Structure formats: structure tokens, C-alpha cells
Amino acid sequence: DAGVIQSPRHEVTEMGQEVTLRCKPISGHDYLFWYRQTMMRGLELLIYFNNNVPIDDSGMPEDRFSAKMPNASFSTLKIQPSEPRDSAVYFCASSLSGKSSYEQYFGPGTRLTVT
């Protein structure tokens, strides 16, 4: 398996623009997570899905952020409008329920810079 795939790997945009980050989880995994990593706050869970249904979005910073999972193999995280404080590395991860370790498999991340 190719692992969790994220695109783009790098995104530079201007303040006010819409940004869409994409994720393809590992085939067969039924959980998908979106995280944000910054130097100041570390790794923060934004939202996670189970079987394409959002379970907990309490980490989503504000209404400018939205996430969707239209099917088992694709998810998006959208920021509209973007602001400089959204600059961070955004990770997508997936996992498979029923496994004892509950290991999460992370993608390589998308580095977002908002100028």
C-alpha cells in the first residue's frame, strides 16, 4: 500500500484566499484524522471521521475551517478565508478499528504558508 497520501505537499497562498488540502487514507481504514502542527502548540487534533461520518470536530479552530469526507478514500480540509496564523503543517492520518494497538498512520503532511 502507498500509505496515506496528501496533496499538495506545499502550499503558499495570500491572506483571504481559499485553501483546500486533500487526503487519501490507507485503503480499508475506517478512521481518518486531521491534525495541525505548529512550533507553539505542537500537534493538535482538528477533526476525525469514522466511516466517513465526522465524530469529533471540537478541535476545528473556527468557522473558517471545514472538513468533508465524501467517500472512504478521500477527505478535504478547507480554510476560507485563510489567515497568516493558519500557517502550519497539516497532517492527515488513518487507522483501522479492531486492531489492538490503534496505531495511526500519518501522511507526509502539507506545509501551508499564508502571507
Partner 1 sequence: GEDVEQSLFLSVREGDSSVINCTYTDSSSTYLYWYKQEPGAGLQLLTYIFSNMDMKQDQRLTVLLNKKDKHLSLRIADTQTGDSAIYFCAESITGGYQKVTFGIGTKLQVIP
Q: What residue ranges bind partner 1 (CB under 8 A)?
A: 4, 31, 41-43, 45, 48, 50, 56, 91, 93, 95, 97, 101-104, 106-109
Residue 52 backbone dihedrals phi, psi, to 5 degrees: 75, 0
Could you tell me the smallest distance in angstroms from the CB atom of residue 84 to partner 1?
A: 22
Nearer to partner 1, 19 or 32 (CB): 32
Could you tell me the smallest distance in angstroms from the CB atom of residue 20 to partner 1?
A: 19
Could you tell me the smallest distance in angstroms from the CB atom of residue 54 to partner 1?
A: 13
Residue type, 98: G
Secondary structure, 3-state, 48-99: EEECCEEEECCCCCCCCEEEEEEECCEEEEEECCCCHHHCEEEEEEEECCCC
Nearer to partner 1, 97 or 113 (CB): 97
